[in-house]
Amino acid sequence: MQSSGHRFRDVDHHPLLSSEDDFECSSGNVEVVDRIWFIRDGCGMVCAVITWLLVLYADFVVTFVMLLPSKDYWYSLINGIVFNSLAVLALSSHLRTMLTDPGAVPKGNATKEYMESLQLKPGEVIYKCPKCCSIKPERAHHCSICKRCIRKMDHHCPWVNNCVGENNQKFFVLFTMYIALISVHALILCGFQFFFCIREQWSECSGFSPPVTVILIIFLCLEGLLFLTFTSVMFGTQLHSICNDETEIERLKNEKPTWERKLRWEGMKTVFGGQPSFLWINPFSGIRIRRLIPRTLKGGAEFAV
């Protein structure tokens, strides 16, 4: 339930409902979601595919251009295991971010039946989103791409084709962290590779011709620098938001908090789940296997299976 201070802050942006108001949403449009989440956005899907292709390209260059041709068995083995493990963790975190419901409010729940179940007292006010016809919880914002109100929405990221919100922020943080780590690792390996190739014959340090080897490694260096810069900045801003219990949207709008903030350590435990453990950095935590069921949503932008 919103406080009166919050009501006056948002009253110009969102229609209000009270127990005496009329309802435009029928109960037949209420949506219950318990399936994998996926956003059918063309730009987001293209960006997600590009992300995977770039990671796979880096893995190809590291594995087949730099490590396998190396004469040092243990150097190739250890770096191959580390790099490929980080790549798997990064892509798994990307999938979890993309396929996890970020905290969407059910569509069309602003019905008379639902309002009556809330047992509102006279004069109590709640918020209705006119775009998705749902009761809008505190700190929720409407995403025009997902076409849903998202709890604790931080931003919509096309590279993961999803919003970053209450339920998938952990996986987004892990995605940026693991991408930054494999970028650093790739840059270090590129430096060693150039050193080895200059010290020896270029034709002996790679299975590819010298010009092709140079082009592949230079492109990998550029990719690593770009990814490292982007993901490091995002990783830092996400940790800052978590420790201050303030989403990027709330910071940009300069919204005054009407909630009890969970600062620093409490915020980290809320997002990553409980006390510090291996589960904090595990993108497979909490995963549940369900039978795939196709579903059609009326007027929706997402496809759940």
Angle subtended by helix axes 265-272 and 210-244, to nearest 10:
120
Q: Residues 243, 103: contact at Cβ < 8 Å?
A: no
Cβ neighbours around 179 below 10 Å, total? 30
Q: Which of 143, 157, 190, 205 is catalytic?
A: 157
- 145 phi/psi in degrees, rounded to 5: -85, -50
Round to whole Å and give the CA distance between 288 and 127: 33
In whole angstroms, give the CA distance from residue 176 to residue 107: 30
Angle of helix 73-99 versus helix 169-199 axis, rounded to 10: 150
CA distance 170 to 242: 10
| Amino acid at the residue 52 | W
DSSP, residue by residue, 14-82 = S-EE-TT------GGG-----S---B--HHHHHHHHHHHHHHHHHHHIIIIIIITT-S-HHHHHHHHHH
The answer to whether 157 is a known catalytic residue is yes
List, in sequence order, every residue forming a beta bridge with 156; answer none if it has no partner: 163
Helix axes 42-60, 210-244, angle to 10 degrees: 130
CA–CA separation, 153 vs 139, rounded Å?
Answer: 8
How many whole angstroms from its chain centre is CA 180? 15
Terminal-residue alpha carbon distance, the chain: 33
| Residues belonging to the active site | 157
